[in-house]
Amino acid sequence: MEKKEFFTVEIKDILSRLENESEELYPSKSLALKIFNFIQKLQDIEPDNKNTDNTWNLWIKSSKGDISSFWNYEEMLENCDVENHEEYVRLWEDDFPHEYDWHEFTVIEYKQTYYFYLESKFLFRFNLEDNTIIGIHPNYKELARFVARLLVIANKEIHIFLKNPDKYNLNIATNLPLWRRYGKIKRKIIWENISDEIRYDHELGNEKINKLELLVANNDENLFFEKMTVNDFLRYCEICYDSNNYFKDSKAKLSPLEKYKKMADSRHGGLLNIKPDSSTAFKKWYVSGEWRGTHPWEICRGGNSTHITLHISKYNDGWKLYLTGLFRQVETINMAIALFEQLVPFVFYDKTDMLNMAKGEDNWGVVPENVIPKYCHSFFPKEDNVIDFLNPWHYEDIRAVVEKHATWYPEKKICKSKK
């Protein structure tokens, strides 16, 4: 008789061995029929289509079980994974601290193909037109058996939901553990409770924060330059560089051009090849578009989100300067204050967010245990302006603070199909 309940270790083991989406066909008519029948049953639930594609989410529950559900002790001992039974028990407790866990099971439909995920990891896809299973290797029988069991449990969840939707949604809202939820917490609360957390307010100091408040309230972003040259741009770059004392240890006095070459992305797109004092040459170069696809405005090089940009853009019959560096907060704030104090017209992107971050008044987004805390903006309401993300579930001190002080977003309710 097929075992229907999952132990958490089984799910964790399968997820750890899943690879990227493949094109392997799994030749099983019986499994294809189970998947087809499940998809038909799924139509009784109204899909979430906020991201265009139809999406269904269900929660699958697993139990910790007893230690016999864990990996074989003799094998672990032989492979030197543990030295004794005491260590084996401790490892089991550390890896599976919860008596029960919950796992998000997601199905996405796109052009008659259904994509199946567990905890955001791809399992397989099913083409409804020819009933083919794609993504399970023919030799991976264990995954096929796992999928069959998963469908049985998911079918049961749908049955329970259809019997009493309100009760089902209330159960999710009440019992879904915090480590599977999204939430938010004030940055200042983390600062006040975690001593080694980086504090922008301490790095900047009250004087600079006051100056930043003045800038946010009074910087006139309608001002622009009538003309622009390479040397003008390099002078504004130098103001930014000097605000952070990047070259305080340099024995030689560096020119603005030399500072730019040391700090900026080297892919300048021909910017440094034109006459440095000619506004005509600058305009001709800019309008030509030869710089597009290069990085002349990346004045402090970095990764996709960790560089600082001082961008020049055509504005009516003149030019505007834009400063961006949301993920290098202190450096970018220093640059903005310096430009403002030297009466350089510029637009400071994300200025209100930067001020809130500097004062610790913004929200950190708390993500579930299985989510990497990067590029998670789509999971949070735009009005909350969540910029940084936190996964606290592997650190006892941060976890305790989050569990006590965070605000948790409600789970989206599942509804019966309107068809």
pLDDT digits 0-9 by tens, 253-263:
999 999 999 99
Mean pLDDT in residue range 27-49: 94
pLDDT of residue 3: 56
CA distance 399 to 190: 10
Domain ranges of the chain: 6-64+99-176, 220-345
Give me the helix-helix angle, 329-341 and 351-359, nearest 10°: 120
Query: What is the sign of the dihedral through the CA atoms of 269, 273, 276 and 278?
Result: negative
Mean pLDDT in residue range 101-113: 95
pLDDT of residue 94: 84
> In residues, how long is the chain?
419
Phi, psi of 153 (to 5 degrees): -70, -40
CA distance 15 to 8: 11
CA distance 100 to 61: 7
**SS3 state of residue 312:** strand
Q: Which of 219, 217, 232, 218 is nearest to 319 (CA)?
A: 232
The mean of the pLDDT values for the chain is: 92
pLDDT of residue 1: 42
Tens-place pLDDT, residues 274-307: 999 999 999 999 999 999 999 999 999 998 889 9
Question: What residues does 104 pair with on adjacent strands?
Answer: 59
pLDDT band at 197 (very low <50, low <70, confident <90, very high): confident
First to last CA, the chain: 36
pLDDT above 70 for 76: yes
CA distance 110 to 283: 46
Tens-place pLDDT, residues 137-164: 888 899 999 999 999 999 999 999 999 9
Tens-place pLDDT, residues 298-311: 999 998 889 999 99
- Cβ neighbours of residue 399 under 8 Å, at least 6 residues apart? 392, 393
pLDDT of residue 71: 76
pLDDT band at 131 (very low <50, low <70, confident <90, very high): very high
Query: What is the sign of the dihedral through the CA atoms of 128, 130, 135 and 140?
Result: positive
